[in-house]
Amino acid sequence: MTHPIVNLDEPAFETQTRGERFEARMAPVAGRIGAAKLGYRVTQVPPGKRAWPFHSHHANEEMIFVLEGRGRLRLADGEHPIRAGDFIAAPAGGVETAHQIINDSDQPLTYLCVSTMIEPEVVLTRIPASWARSPAPRRAGRRASGRCSGSGRRRRAAGIGRGSRAIVRPRSPSPHSCWANRNYLAQGFRE
């Protein structure tokens, strides 16, 4: 049986980088303590970096608790200062719920992210903040992930589309993947 307790100083952090703007040290916690329906991860963002692009989740809701440091929370309506002790809600939805944490300080920014684990998930990325204020359809990147019933294997997909007609296709289809036999029609996101 998995021990249901882990201390903040125990998880092993792994660093992810992408280009010069994105970098984060992450420590997954949920699997270590036996969580099944919620995901937990401690993330540390170095000074001047962002962990993720500005994005929204179609299926999953996130709660972020800032453990130490300060920075900014980017939302569709603008940027807001954040600091240790702040709770942040990132509900599921379209571009109106897009969010991004930015460390604009000279110290690391560390937070705990707790999320639902609904699959398949569709993540909308590459969202200009102005899109949330405009009803006109635009192109945006999407990523879907999920488990195929029976296989237990995680599949990721990516695609480009316009409005509610966006098609998300598998990145690498395989005969063992349910994605290989059909397209996933992503619900449209308003800009």
Query: Per-residue pLDDT averaged across 98-113, rounded?
Result: 97
User: What pLDDT, on a 0 to 100 scale, did the predictor assign at position 33?
Assistant: 94
User: What pLDDT, on a 0 to 100 scale, did the predictor assign at position 127?
Assistant: 66
Query: Per-residue pLDDT averaged across 146-166, rounded?
Result: 40
pTM reported for the whole predicted model: 0.71
Q: 174 pLDDT exceeds 70?
A: no
Domain annotation for the chain: domains and CATH numbers = 14-116 (2.60.120.10), 121-185 (no CATH)
Q: What is the DSSP annotation of the chain?
A: ---S---TTSSPPEEEEETTTEEEEEEE-HHHHT-SSEEEEEEEE-TT-BSS-SEEESS--EEEEEEE-EEEEEETTEEEEEETT-EEEE-SSSGGG-EEEE--SSS-EEEEEEEE--SSEEEEES--GGGGG--S--EEEEEEEEE-TTT--EEEEEEEEEGGG-EEEESS--TT-GGGGS-EEPPP---
Query: Per-residue pLDDT averaged across 13-34, rounded?
Result: 95
2 — pLDDT class (breaks 50, 70, 90): confident
User: What pLDDT, on a 0 to 100 scale, did the predictor assign at position 98?
Assistant: 94
Are the beta carbons of 143 and 122 closer than 8 angstroms? yes
User: What pLDDT, on a 0 to 100 scale, did the predictor assign at position 133?
Assistant: 53
Q: 61 pLDDT exceeds 60?
A: yes
